[in-house]
């Protein structure tokens, strides 16, 4: 369906004072024409750079390249934000049609020989250019991107690479669509209340309201969203129900139907391996990691081993302890993956007198969000104002103006926290616009924080569990990275850093989450407004390393599985289930724990850009534990000097320098891995 340019919001200057998209005016029919025109306009800009008779300069080549494609960025940012958070069948169709066009367009830029000649000439003569450190970083980044995108290949190899890229973009898209479709397809309907024994009233109520919304009055409805099934794993005495829901979650897209992802994984890995080898690397992991802090697969494997060994040992101890607990009320039965959550919840209650259901009334979502706002005020001086008349893409979305201590405008934050059928699982941060400086104007960013947290019920607000509280803090760390950035060029802005550095600003925020001083600002009972009693806060502190064998083993097994896929050297078809089984056996995974993401639902790796990069959560955990130690060492978790250094050297710098150089500028030294082992009780 076409539409006139005059009717298309993407072809107009956004009238909102913050430059926010007019979501209420944007229709599905607007995307394809805007994508087509955006591609056309950027191609004309690239042609102008290439056809410039003047010798290549930083301004007429690198700078011009980085500021090109304004319309394409404008439509892409809106489309892909909504494609993740508020999609529909028509948008999926558009994504499938647009994906190969964007792949082609990207190749038209990075495989353009004349453009590469200009970039290479500047790179080879960079010592004589008198560039600023940021300009030098941008030049090096573009040269590296051109080489890694195949600019140095011969004509025949470039044709091969184009075909690989096109097929790969579609396969990765298909993987994510299949996971979303399978997530939406599963519904567990319960019509007998006796099957709900053990479930807290709040969980029953949420399930009853979900059933009512699906026109199933008098029943209870569960699905494979974590907010729905995790409480069942924790509290349900119905072992078969626990098993059914966990298996439904872990086996999505693995049912040999039209949504099965096993063949898609084969396609993706074949193409990724071919691409890496075409570009001169033995494996996909070697190619990807060459552009990270880690640099090589061996570095990643060696690093993961240092955390895996103590984690697995701890997990085995935990499994033995849970088995003893299980023996008391289920003699002769062996602990299985669907029992772990249930018995660890019992054990936590027995050891620390800590019950998540007792904690949740203190974790009202709006209070937790305010807590993270207050934390950023104390650390960085930020102020917030709710914007009631901002355009939003869904009624659940709220918008906030963010300003600095002196009143300077920082950016806009959108929050979107509840699950719905059009939203993929998980939590993430995205940009609608990025920060950059052009013609003396500092263009400020618009950032989205998206989650799938526990929804409000008829008589209760959204009350978060501990994992959801941590996730909210985590994603807001990404938001701060995007909001506070102060660089000149879009490609270096905010979170445009290597995968194994991008999680530092997010994960460091989790360190403040359970500090009593911080909890006093947000852990307020939703009915009375009273602060959580000190006795409860103390229990949270005592239990901070509880179940860490499970947590780390579940996470690291996914990191190792990811690496095992990406060190594949041949492109022959393989059995995905058998590959996964062999990988887990090789690492010594215990059967009582299921890898955090089974292969067919591993969206981070096969659909989300974390391929050969899932290790980065643990890599960054070493950085974040060490970074928080910088505050703790001063005896003040809000220490203004340390906060200023972190803001100046990490949050504001984006990708304007080598990550470890930025970290050393903040900390004065490289991170100490012991900080993480101590924090997680693994040493």
Secondary structure percentages of the chain, helix, strand, coil, to 5: 60, 5, 35
- Dihedrals phi, psi of 153, to nearest 5 degrees: -75, 160
* 616-632 helix and 548-566 helix, angle to the nearest 10 degrees: 140
Determine the average pLDDT of the residues in 54-65.
98
662-665 contact pairs (CB < 8 A, 24+): 663/504, 663/623, 663/627
Q: Rounding to the nearest 10 degrees, give the CA dihedral for residues 244, 249, 255, 257.
A: 120
Per the domain annotation, does 425 fall within a domain?
A: yes
Per the listing, tokens 């100490």 go with: 672
Complete DSSP assignment for 185-252: H--EEE--GGGGTT--HHHHHHHHHHHHHTT-TTSEEE-SSHHHHHHHHHH-S-HHHHHHHHHHHHTT
pLDDT band at residue 409, thresholds of 50, 70 and 90? very high
Whether residues 88 and 198 fall in one domain: no
Per the domain annotation, does 371 fall within a domain?
A: yes
d(CA 524, CA 531): 4
Q: What is the pLDDT of residue 521?
A: 98
* 89-110 helix and 28-50 helix, angle to the nearest 10 degrees: 0
C-alpha of 538 from chain center:
31
d(CA 576, CA 624): 34
Tokens of 17: 């004072």
Per the listing, tokens 């090109």 go with: 68
Q: Rounding to the nearest 10 degrees, give the CA dihedral for residues 505, 510, 512, 513.
A: 150
d(CA 256, CA 448): 36
- Dihedrals phi, psi of 220, to nearest 5 degrees: -130, 135
pLDDT band at residue 673, thresholds of 50, 70 and 90? confident
* 499-513 helix and 659-667 helix, angle to the nearest 10 degrees: 30
d(CA 677, CA 38): 48
pLDDT for residue 5 is more than 80: no
pLDDT for residue 287 is more than 60: yes
pLDDT for residue 203 is more than 60: yes
Q: What is the pLDDT of residue 434?
A: 96
**Count of alpha carbons within 13 Å of 454, Cβ hemisphere only?**
29
d(CA 472, CA 469): 5
650: DSSP letter: I
pLDDT tens digits, residue range 106-156? 999 999 999 999 999 999 999 999 999 999 999 999 999 999 999 999 999
Whether residues 225 and 341 fall in one domain: no
Domain end, chosen from 208, 227, 250, is at: 250
454: DSSP letter: P
d(CA 652, CA 674): 27
pLDDT for residue 82 is more than 80: yes
Mean pLDDT for all residues in the chain = 96
Whether residues 350 and 369 fall in one domain: no
Whether residues 437 and 476 fall in one domain: yes
Whether residues 307 and 238 fall in one domain: no
Whether residues 347 and 228 fall in one domain: no
pLDDT for residue 444 is more than 90: yes
Per the domain annotation, does 159 fall within a domain?
A: no
Q: Which of 475, 554, 580, 592 is flagged as catalytic?
A: 475
**Domain harbouring 101, CATH code:** 1.10.1370.40
pLDDT for residue 331 is more than 90: no
Collapsed DSSP state (helix, strand, coil) of residue 383? strand
Whether residues 365 and 493 fall in one domain: yes
Per the domain annotation, does 280 fall within a domain?
A: yes
pLDDT band at residue 1, thresholds of 50, 70 and 90? very low
Say which range, 173-182, 343-352, 427-436, 672-681, has the weakest mean pLDDT. 672-681
Q: What is the pLDDT of residue 4?
A: 57
Query: Is residue 240 annotated as part of the catalytic site, yes or no?
Result: no
Determine the average pLDDT of the residues in 436-450.
97
pLDDT band at residue 166, thresholds of 50, 70 and 90? very high
Whether residues 339 and 210 fall in one domain: no
Beta strands 409-416; 428-433: pairing state: unpaired
Q: What is the pLDDT of residue 674?
A: 86
pLDDT for residue 514 is more than 60: yes
Q: Give me the percent of the chain exceeding a pLDDT of 70.
A: 99
Sign, CA dihedral 674-308-615-540, equals negative
Whether residues 523 and 565 fall in one domain: no
Domain containing 63 equals 5-152
pLDDT tens digits, residue range 537-595? 999 999 999 999 999 999 999 999 999 999 999 999 999 999 999 999 999 999 999 99
pLDDT band at residue 675, thresholds of 50, 70 and 90? confident
CA angle 615, 92, 26 (to 5 degrees): 110
Q: What predicted TM-score, i.e. pTM, was given to this entire model? A: 0.94
Whether residues 325 and 374 fall in one domain: no
pLDDT band at residue 161, thresholds of 50, 70 and 90? very high
Collapsed DSSP state (helix, strand, coil) of residue 441? strand
pLDDT tens digits, residue range 366-377? 999 999 999 999
Per the domain annotation, does 241 fall within a domain?
A: yes
C-alpha of 463 from chain center:
22
Per the domain annotation, does 174 fall within a domain?
A: no
Contact at 8 Å (CB) between 489 and 464? no
Residues in the chain: 683
**Domain harbouring 570, CATH code:** 1.10.1370.10
- Dihedrals phi, psi of 401, to nearest 5 degrees: -85, 135
Per the domain annotation, does 298 fall within a domain?
A: yes
Query: What's the domain count of the chain?
Result: 4
Which of 394, 364, 675 shows the shortest CA–CA distance to 525? 364
Domain end, chosen from 152, 175, 196, is at: 152
Which of 231, 252, 199, 236 shows the shortest CA–CA distance to 468? 231
Q: What is the largest CA-CA distance in the chain?
A: 83
Determine the average pLDDT of the residues in 45-50.
98
CA distances from 305 to 186, 419, 556 (A): 36, 35, 9
Complete DSSP assignment for 582-629: HHHHHHT--TTS--SS-GGG-HHHHTSS-TTTTTHHHHHHHHHHHHHH
Whether residues 225 and 339 fall in one domain: no
Per the domain annotation, does 293 fall within a domain?
A: yes
CA distances from 634 to 381, 504, 505, 637, 643 (A): 19, 20, 20, 8, 12
pLDDT band at residue 329, thresholds of 50, 70 and 90? confident
Sign, CA dihedral 146-149-155-157, equals positive
Tokens of 392: 């939003």
pLDDT tens digits, residue range 619-637? 999 999 999 999 999 999 9
d(CA 22, CA 5): 16
Q: Is 522 exposed, middle or buried (0-12, 13-18, 19+ CB in 10 A)?
A: buried
* 499-513 helix and 365-380 helix, angle to the nearest 10 degrees: 110
pLDDT tens digits, residue range 396-406? 999 999 999 99
Whether residues 630 and 558 fall in one domain: no
d(CA 408, CA 383): 10
């Amino acid at each position: 369906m076409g539409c006139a340019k005059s009717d298309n919001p993407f072809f107009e200057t956004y009238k909102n004072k913050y430059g926010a998209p007019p979501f209420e005016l944007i229709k599905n029919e607007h995307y394809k024409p805007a994508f087509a025109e955006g591609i056309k306009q950027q191609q004309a800009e690239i042609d102008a750079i290439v056809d410039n008779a003047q010798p290549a300069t930083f301004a007429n080549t690198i700078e011009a390249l980085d500021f090109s494609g304004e319309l394409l960025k404008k439509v892409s940012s809106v489309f892909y934000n909504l494609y993740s958070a508020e999609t529909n069948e028509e948008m999926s169709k558009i994504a499938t049609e647009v994906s190969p066009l964007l792949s082609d367009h990207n190749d038209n830029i990075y495989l353009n020989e004349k453009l590469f000649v200009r970039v290479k000439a500047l790179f080879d003569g960079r010592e004589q250019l008198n560039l600023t450190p940021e300009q030098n970083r941008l030049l090096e980044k573009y040269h590296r991107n051109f080489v890694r995108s195949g600019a140095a290949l011969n004509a025949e190899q470039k044709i091969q690479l184009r075909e690989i890229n096109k097929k790969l973009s579609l396969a990765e898209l298909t993987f994510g669509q299949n996971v979303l479709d399978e997530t939406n397809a599963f519904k567990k309907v319960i019509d007998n209340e006796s099957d709900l024994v053990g479930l807290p009233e709040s969980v029953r109520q949420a399930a009853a309201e979900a059933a009512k919304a699906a026109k199933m009055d008098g029943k209870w409805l569960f699905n494979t969203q974590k907010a729905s099934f995790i409480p069942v794993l924790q509290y349900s005495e119905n072992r078969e129900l626990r098993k059914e829901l966990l298996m439904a979650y872990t086996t999505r897209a693995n049912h040999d139907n039209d949504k099965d992802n096993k063949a898609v994984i084969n396609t993706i890995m074949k193409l990724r391996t071919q691409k890496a080898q075409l570009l001169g690397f033995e494996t996909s992991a070697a190619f990807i990691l060459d552009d990270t802090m880690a640099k090589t697969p061996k570095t990643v494997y060696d690093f993961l081993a240092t955390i895996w060994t103590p984690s697995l040992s701890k997990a085995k101890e935990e499994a033995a302890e849970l088995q003893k607990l299980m023996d008391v009320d289920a003699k002769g039965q062996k602990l299985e993956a669907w029992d772990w959550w249930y018995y660890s919840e019992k054990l936590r209650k027995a050891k620390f007198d800590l019950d998540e259901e007792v904690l949740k009334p203190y974790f009202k979502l709006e209070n937790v969000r305010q807590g993270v706002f207050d934390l950023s005020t104390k650390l960085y001086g930020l102020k917030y104002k709710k914007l009631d008349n901002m355009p939003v893409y869904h009624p659940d979305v709220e918008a906030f103006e963010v300003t600095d201590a002196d009143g300077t405008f920082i950016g806009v934050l959108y929050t979107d926290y509840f699950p719905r059928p059009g939203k993929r699982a998980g939590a993430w941060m995205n940009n609608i616009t990025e920060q950059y400086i052009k013609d003396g104007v500092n263009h400020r960013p618009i950032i989205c924080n998206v989650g799938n947290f526990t929804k409000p019920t008829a008589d209760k607000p959204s009350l978060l569990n501990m994992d959801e509280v941590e996730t909210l803090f985590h994603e807001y760390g990404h938001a701060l990275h995007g909001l506070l950035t102060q660089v000149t060029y879009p490609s270096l802005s905010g979170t445009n850093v290597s995968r194994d550095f991008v999680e530092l600003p997010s994960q460091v925020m989790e360190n403040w989450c359970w500090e009593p001083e911080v909890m006093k600002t947000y852990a307020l009972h939703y009915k009375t407004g009273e602060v959580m009693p000190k006795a409860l806060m103390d229990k949270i502190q005592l239990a901070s390393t509880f179940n860490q064998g499970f947590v780390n083993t579940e996470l690291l097994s996914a990191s190792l599985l990811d690496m095992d896929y990406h060190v594949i050297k041949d492109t022959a078809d393989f059995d995905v289930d058998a590959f996964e089984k062999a990988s887990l056996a090789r690492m010594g995974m215990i059967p009582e724990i299921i890898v955090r993401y089974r292969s067919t639902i591993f969206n981070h790796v096969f659909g989300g850009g974390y391929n050969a990069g899932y290790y980065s959560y643990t890599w960054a955990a070493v950085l974040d534990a060490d970074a928080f130690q910088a505050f703790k060492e001063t005896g003040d978790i809000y220490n203004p000097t340390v906060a200023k250094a972190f803001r100046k050297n990490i949050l504001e710098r984006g990708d304007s320098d080598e990550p470890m150089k930025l970290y050393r500028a903040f900390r004065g030294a490289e991170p100490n891995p012991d900080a993480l082992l101590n924090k997680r009780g693994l040493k």
